Amino acid sequence: MGARLAGSLTVWAQTVPHDVGVRLQFAREQALARARESRQVPAVTVVGMAGSGAAVLAGLTAPWWQRAASVLPLLLLVLGLVAIDHWSARERVMAAADIDAQLLSDNLPPSAYSDPGFAEYLRTAPPQ
């Protein structure tokens, strides 16, 4: 299909009046020039905030405080995740310590809980 389309465009291009062909060639050259310019983007781009609150791209000419401010949300996210992990680990340790304290302060020795007969007794014993 692409080959047929290209062939029909080639035939059509030969029947176009001269002034239309010149305008099409000029438009083609302008489009290629714009494409070349758009490919020449600075190697490093930094996202900053404009005065209106809209995000804008800036090159290396941005002040240091704008570049630092663009990294700040990522830094806060990482610190928040580390704090959540620390809190979660602390809660797990505290829960395990609470269970250990209850087992050690009980009247039964800890080995009684692993005895199969004791587990059966707990299942069949009437509630008190």
* Model pLDDT for residues 69-128, shown as the tens digit of each residue: 888 999 999 999 999 999 999 999 999 999 888 878 878 777 777 888 887 877 787 766
Q: Give start and end residues of each alpha helix (H) in the chain.
A: 2-15, 18-39, 64-105, 116-124
- Structural domain boundaries, residue 89: 62-128
101 domain residue, yes or no: yes
Helix (H, G, I), strand (E, B) or coil at 49: strand
For residue 14, the model assigns a pLDDT of 78
Q: What is the C-alpha separation between 80 and 1, in angstroms, rounded?
A: 55
In this predicted model, what pLDDT tens digit does every residue of 22-55 receive, in sequence order? Answer: 888 898 889 889 888 888 755 555 555 555 555 5
pTM: 0.39
Q: In the predicted model, is pLDDT for residue 61 greater than 70?
A: no
Residue 46 bridge partners (DSSP) = 58
Strands (E) in the chain, as ranges, are 46-49, 55-58
Q: What is the C-alpha separation between 55 and 73, in angstroms, rounded?
A: 14
106 domain residue, yes or no: yes
Count of structural domains within the chain = 1
